[in-house]
Chains A and B, each alone.
Chain A
Amino acid sequence: MRSQTNIFAFTIITFVMMMLFTPEKASSQSVRVLVPAGSFHSVLPEVEGEPIQVDSFFMDETAITNEQYAEFLRENPEWRRSNIPPIFTYDGYLKTWKSDLEPDYEEVGENRPVTRVSWYAANAYCSEQGGRLPTLNEWEYSAQLLGIEDEAEMNRFSSKLISWYSGIDANNLPEVGSTGIETTTGVKDQFGLVMEWVADFKPIIADEISLDCGTVGRMQTLNSVYSYAASIRYITRMSFNPKITTGMVGFRCAYDESDRSDQTKHEVTL
């Protein structure tokens, strides 16, 4: 009798453990990387000369994949293609998917970054994960932590970057983590894969900046090939509006450090 109770208790415990741990495995939750505090030089004219301070934060190692996004949609029907209200997106939302919950994996690939998601949808996804979109400064700060010391090498890298920006092939995106471009803190593919949404992609200065050569010239305050490439990125991003759904824009999430410590505590109590 007693051993029966034990077996029963064991079964219950096993079941509870499975309940607790299986969803996490299945959720294909992305790896989060700590980006330590620091500062960097922005190419925006208003902050010329003054480095921007960034607090430490966590960021997804890679961009969100189609598979991860499909899982979010399974839990959040209001963000499915057939339900999403037009105030949050244009018609192109997840246009290449077979149906509401089925990315066309032959076309878009399981581990390729999800694209054709509006800024609103990206926000909703990150909120659901307990995070948020990185701020423009957080994203840019992380992106330039490349550890390339040699000026010639940096110029070569930046030139590659410029040609990438000029021809992102939205129909043939590589898988996340495959570009080989990784920051010193371990954040992958901030270049070479897709453009990415940031929380404040349209800083106020965007109103005064027109997309012309003169502006790009003025933006190149740092006078390097990298700042030229960055200017193109800034200007492209500023031309977006929150409802656009293009094949070359994906996203990844950021997390405050305090959120992370809550989570760790939670894990410890388990």
Chain B
Amino acid sequence: MRSVFIYLILFSVLGIVEVNGQDMHHQHDHKQEALKAGEVQSGHSLYHLDNEFITHRNEKVKLSDFADEPVIVVMFYGNCTQVCPILIQDSWRLYSSLSESTKKTVNVLAVSFDTENDSPEVLAEYAKDEQLDISGWHFVTGKDTDIRMLAMMLGVKYQKDSNGDFAHSNLITVLDAEGNVAKRVEGLNQPMDEAAWLIESVSKNSDETK
């Protein structure tokens, strides 16, 4: 009796969500097409997120400050000593595989979701330790709400456990010049050639339009 009941409940609830799910597929397809054609899908740009973040150099930044050039985004946290260094290293591997001219224009955002511990000062220390306190690299934190919104837009999941550690997705995202998601590399130690190729082509595109 109870199991029939719960099926009824779940179906009635999911029915509502399902309608929206169709929209999602529609929009997803649309986006894929747009990427192939190299068109601007400004409605799907992450640069619509107008909130302010703060870097390890204590600079206030908005995502849209990085527009016009490709951006590599990775989410991590400072106290993560096993997985996150690999994730940061992966981002470095992608960055360092780029041509010298592209390296000068591309930005890397390493965004911490540990808003409690990773102050700009802590992140500055982290950047120094990783030898990544270099131009174009920004270790970023912000208000919890804003970080969570960014994570949701990227599809990065994270959750704090009772020890203060985070369970989290391992994801490196490449944004094109308009702030659309152009490439997602999920997992650790993944090949980066495709992402690198994409950054080079986007970077060239923006050179041409200048």
Query: Could you list which residues of chain A lie within 8 angstroms of chain B, going by C-beta atoms?
Result: 47, 50, 78, 85-88, 90-92, 119-120, 123, 126-127, 132-133, 162, 165-167, 170, 199-200, 202-205, 207, 211, 213, 216, 232, 235-236, 239-248
Contacts and interface: CB of A to CB of B under 8 A. Distances in A.
B145 interface: yes
Contacts, number: 95
Contact of B145 (A88, A132, A167, A202): A132
Given A85-B48, A86-B27, A166 B12 contact: yes
A216 B24 contact: no
A239 B10 CA distance: 10
Contacts of A165: 9, 13
Contacts of B193: none
What are the 8 closest A-B residue pairs judged by CB atoms, nearest first?
A166-B9, A90-B23, A86-B43, A85-B48, A204-B159, A132-B145, A244-B20, A246-B16
Interface stretch (B96-104, B130-138, B146-154, B182-190): B146-154
Contacts of B9: 162, 165-166, 232
B45 interface: yes
A47 B162 CA distance: 9
B62 interface: no
A119 B151 CA distance: 13
B7 A213 contact: yes
Q: B interface, how many residues as a size bin? A: 35 or more
- Say what secondary structure dominates the interface of chain B: helix
A78 B159 CA distance: 30
Given A50-B162, A202-B157, A211-B10, A90 B145 contact: no
B53 interface: no
B116 to A, nearest CB: 12
B50 interface: yes
A243 B20 contact: yes
Interface in B104-130: none
Interface string B10-24: 101110110110011
Nearest to B19: A92
B11 to A, nearest CB: 9
A133 to B, nearest CB: 7
8 contacts: A86-B43, A87-B46, A92-B19, A119-B152, A126-B145, A202-B157, A239-B13, A239-B14
A87 B45 contact: yes
Contact of A87 (B12, B14, B148, B153): B153
Contact of B144 (A86, A132, A216, A243): A132
Contacts of B144: 132, 199
